Amino acid sequence: MMRDAVLAFSTQFEFQPVVENKENLKVTDSFVLTGMGGSHLNADLLLAVAPHTDIIIHRDYGLPLVSAEKAAKSLFIASSYSGNTEEVIEAYNEAKEKGYALAAIAVGGTLLELAKADGVPYVAIPDTGIQPRSALAFSFMALLSLTGKDAFLKETQSLRTIIDPADIEQAGKDLAAAMKDRVPLVYASRANETVAWNWKIKLNETGKIPAFYNVFPELNHNEMTGFDVVPTMKHLAAPFHVVLLEDGDDHPKVQQRMDVLATLYSKRGLPVTRLALDGNTRLEKIFRSLLLADWTAVHTAALYGLESEHVPMVEEFKKMIAS
């Protein structure tokens, strides 16, 4: 059950990733990661905590357009939780054909079979039966081990004794109740875009509701004008509930923009919830916020009488495109 997965999330920080076929691992500071859905969130998170990392995140079939020079110096990482994601398998095979340096992350499936047969370095994620979106710490730590980010790996593992998911559940339950019958709009700074994106994904997949996100300061130049509520369009703005993810480390001007927008939206009748990213380190802030998102999504699904773990529409879609 999804609730059990959230409660046990901190045990993922105990993971000691092992790079198999390590003798074939390309040592570089340039990376390309291919992944879909929850399987590219590890790279998104890496950029959030180490924004100067030279990594391209590819969420499509094939490979991204990169120069021959970039390709030659890069490690191409195929990331698929199940190991059977067709876009990732295609990217792996194309990179192999081109002779690029490869690595893989998965719990098993075709991807690990290929990596083992080809002598490609890989990290096997523990197969605990949880959903890909719930395995972020596993996949993040696997990526850190392949990219040589040992300091971040050690810091991530230290969160095991710092974060207790049970302490966060009530706040998520309260937020789910506050947003009942509304569509969440999750706003954050550009620096915390990955966090807002994860909130949206969790509310979609676990909460089973529409949810959207945007970032400051860009949204002040376009999206907010759609909520300048006047009588003729009041009904269009009525379903939304804004969630502001606030970070004391954000640019002061961004913090000011959040304050002002909260005032403007509230004046126009839009519900606004302001959530501070809480923690002593960047990683702690992010994981605490994402656990709050998990709990909010779990209790959102419960409020609508829905099962929170599985994604039947995704499975239906996969069957239709395979037929």
Q: Among all residues, which ones are annotated catalytic?
A: 205, 221, 318
What is the spatial distance between Cα 42 and Cα 286, in angstroms, rounded to a whole number? Answer: 12
Sheet containing strand 272-276, edge to edge, reads 212-216, 183-189, 240-246, 272-276
**Do the Cβ atoms of 142 and 125 come closer than 8 Å?**
yes
Q: Which single residue is written with the structure tokens 């949880």?
A: 130
Q: Which residues contact 218 (CB under 8 A, 6 or more apart)?
A: 190
What is the spatial distance between Cα 43 and Cα 31, in angstroms, rounded to a whole number? Answer: 10
**Do the Cβ atoms of 61 and 87 come closer than 8 Å?**
yes
**Do the Cβ atoms of 84 and 112 come closer than 8 Å?**
no
Backbone angles phi, psi at 78, to 5 degrees: -95, 120
Rg of the chain, C-alpha, whole Å = 20
**Do the Cβ atoms of 299 and 292 come closer than 8 Å?**
no
